[in-house]
Amino acid sequence: EAPTEAPPAPGYPRDVVDLFGRTVTIPDLPKAIVAISPTATELVYAVGGKVIGRTRTVNYPPEALEATDLGNAYQPNPEAILALEPDLVVADSTIHIAPDVRETLEGLGVPVIFAGAASVDEVLTGLTLLGEVLDNPDGAAAAVAAIEAARDAAREALAGQELSAVILIGDRDRNLYAAKGSSYGGSILDALGIANPADVQPDSGPFPGFTRVSPEALLQYDPVYIFTVTPAPPPAPRLSGMLGLFPGMSGLQAMANGRVIEIDVYLLVQAPGPRVVEAFATLVEAVTGSE
């Protein structure tokens, strides 16, 4: 006699709608989850799940490092994913947006949901989605409430100040790019009520949601704060230390007032997600600590 399969957990199968607006049927409570970006991984853990596979640059939470390394998040490896026999793949609606990548992932024959965090609001949407998928709506609601409370507290701590800031990142050719409101970092400035003079420019350069800025444009913006992020790990020099080498930068009020502040690239660019709470706290500390 063939063994009878155990019935699905209560409430399964269930349909969920992911961040691409796809309706996905989750047949049973997922027990073998592969997450293919830092954001996807952190969202799973934030609602009480765990992963058996993750991408190379994941650095949080520490227990995620015990999962199998599946390589580059931007080029997911279908064979490596399927070798782990997952019952759920959590992809990233921000970085897996190319049609060929989407097609590959949707063709795995395993339930695939796209959850990302292109903005603070999307972090909350992603948490709520994962809470439904993993049958932990209360845990997701608590995580969402904690982020909203942290945002409100940070806004309050900064209230009544005329604050403006530009988030800067550089490339290997010493070009500078500023985060717009459509980027994750830009949405954090917006959530905290910090004006972002770079927001009016069109997207340009290799970083989505960023715009290339000349030293002249920066001098025109002349923000009260400049938050720099450096993608390369130490000992590569930090952008905050290099900025003074660009012509004319000494004329910036942020340079003159010691308000060029290096922020961890994971918090503002590389790992959007539940750690947005840390990003809020870090920016508040940067502002209140430099006065």
Per-residue pLDDT tens digits for 6-60? 889 999 999 999 999 999 999 999 999 999 999 999 999 999 999 999 999 999 9
pLDDT score, position 226: 97
Residue 111 pLDDT greater than 80, yes or no: yes
Structure tokens at 268: 């503002």
The rounded percent of the chain whose pLDDT value lies above 90 is 80
pLDDT category, 248, cuts 50, 70, 90? Answer: confident
Gap between the Cα atoms of 268 and 276, Å rounded: 8
Average pLDDT over every residue of 234-256:
90
Higher pLDDT, 210 or 204: 210
CB 168 within 8 A of CB 239: yes
Phi, psi dihedrals of residue 276, rounded to the nearest 5°: -55, -25
Average pLDDT over every residue of 233-239:
89
Residue 290 pLDDT greater than 80, yes or no: no
The full set of domains in the chain, from first to last, is 14-150 (3.40.50.1980), 161-289 (3.40.50.1980)
Higher pLDDT, 76 or 3: 76
CB 17 within 8 A of CB 25: no
Higher pLDDT, 189 or 6: 189
pLDDT score, position 246: 85
pLDDT score, position 263: 95
Average pLDDT over every residue of 84-88:
98
Gap between the Cα atoms of 8 and 21, Å rounded: 25
pLDDT category, 2, cuts 50, 70, 90? Answer: low
Q: How many CB atoms lie within 10 A of CB 127?
A: 26
> Three-state SS string across the chain, please?
CCCCCCCCCCCCCEEEECCCCCEEEECCCCCCEEECCHHHHHHHHHCCCCCCEECCCCCCCHHHHHCEECCCCCCCCHHHHHHCCCCEEEECCCCCCCHHHHHHHHCCCCCEEECCCCCHHHHHHHHHHHHHHCCCHHHHHHHHHHHHHHHHHHHHHHCCCCCEEEEEEECCCCCEEEECCCCHHHHHHHHCCCECHHHHCCCCCCCCCEEEECHHHHHHHCCCEEEEECCCCCCCCCHHHHHHHCCCHHHCHHHHCCCEEECCHHHHHHCCCCCHHHHHHHHHHHHHHCC
pLDDT score, position 291: 64
**pLDDT tens sequence across 117-162:** 999 999 999 999 999 999 999 999 999 999 999 999 999 999 888 8
Q: Is the peptide bond before 235 cis (omega within 30 degrees of 0)?
A: yes
pLDDT score, position 272: 92
Q: How far apart are the first and last CA of the chain?
A: 75
Three-state DSSP class for 69?
strand
Taking all residues of the chain, what is their mean pLDDT, rounded to a whole number? 93
pLDDT category, 271, cuts 50, 70, 90? Answer: confident
Q: How many CB atoms lie within 10 A of CB 80?
A: 15
Closest CA to 138 of 127, 151, 125, 147: 127
pLDDT score, position 1: 62
Higher pLDDT, 40 or 203: 40
Residue 277 pLDDT greater than 90, yes or no: yes
Q: What is the pTM of this model?
A: 0.89
Q: Is the peptide bond before 76 cis (omega within 30 degrees of 0)?
A: no
Q: Which amino acid is at 41?
A: T
The residues near 255 (Cβ < 8 Å, ≥ 6 apart) are 226, 243, 244, 249
pLDDT score, position 281: 95
